[in-house]
Amino acid sequence: MAANGDSQTVSEYIVHHLTNLTYGNLPAGYERYDGSVVPAGGQWTMAHGGGEIAAMGFNAIHVDSMLWSVGLGLLFCWLFRRVAKQASPDVPSGLVNFVEMIVEFVDGTVKDTFHGRNPLIAPLALTIFVWVFLMNLMDLIPVDLIPHSLMLAGVEYQKIVPSTDPNITMGMAIGVFVLMLFYSIKVKGFGFVKELTLNPFNHPLFIPVNLFMEVVGLLAKPFSLGLRLFGNMYAGEMIFILIAALFGVGVFWILPAALLQVGWAIFHILVITLQAFIFMVLTIVYLSMAHEDH
């Protein structure tokens, strides 16, 4: 996990490791890193550096975040399906027993937290917990291992921790937010409108104030979900990168950097698990509130 001190400064090393592999549309007339100019009509291409990513704007996709998040989601589905097929009344094997513990833990959390009746909540909570945990777990892979290996294959940028990308965390949070709105309308009907307009002040004159306060509180929920996960994981990844940069400073920093990496990795195991648990619990709480018909 040593920095490439011969060709990169520490700042360039950090920026490189925090840049996504981005595919998008560069606007016409934009001058690229190699001096070429984008022709009329724009150009769909891989971005080179933060300047080109900024120029692409919303006409871009983080290829690495999408591939790693979808891949880890498929890994979760494959693993749990395989375990489900192996389940039997006999004494379970190590993997089956471990998965059963996770399922029972999530099921118990849902029963304690969710006060409605909806068969979707427990599977959703299990999916969120395991999927977010797997995405966070990628943070424990040495920061130079996969990016450097892919650079040898011609892939310049690679961020392997999807939960350090706000597009991924906010996308999941918006998905939960849509479910909140759907079940609030389905369960409460017109009562959801009354909830937004007549709380906390039950008087028609205060409807604008109530609506403003309730809408702000409602919109704060997906932001609290997505930005909390992103902020914690981004900070953890930044610390890993800063420690890895010490390897390129000098031979006397190799041992302290190695000890710091191991220590932070051990502590980060708690962080990645806790963040997955918090995302799951808040999802359950928000959906439980959506099912509460007063």
Torsion sign (Cα): 141, 142, 143, 149: negative
Which residue is catalytic, options 25, 167, 228, 288? Answer: 228
Which residue is catalytic, options 118, 167, 224, 288? Answer: 224
Question: What's the rounded Cα separation, in Å, for the pair 82 and 232?
Answer: 32
Question: What's the rounded Cα separation, in Å, for the pair 294 and 185?
Answer: 13
210 has catalytic annotation:
no
Question: What's the rounded Cα separation, in Å, for the pair 113 and 35?
Answer: 58
224 has catalytic annotation:
yes
228 has catalytic annotation:
yes
Residue 60's DSSP bridge partners are 24
Enumerate the active-site residues: 224, 228, 232
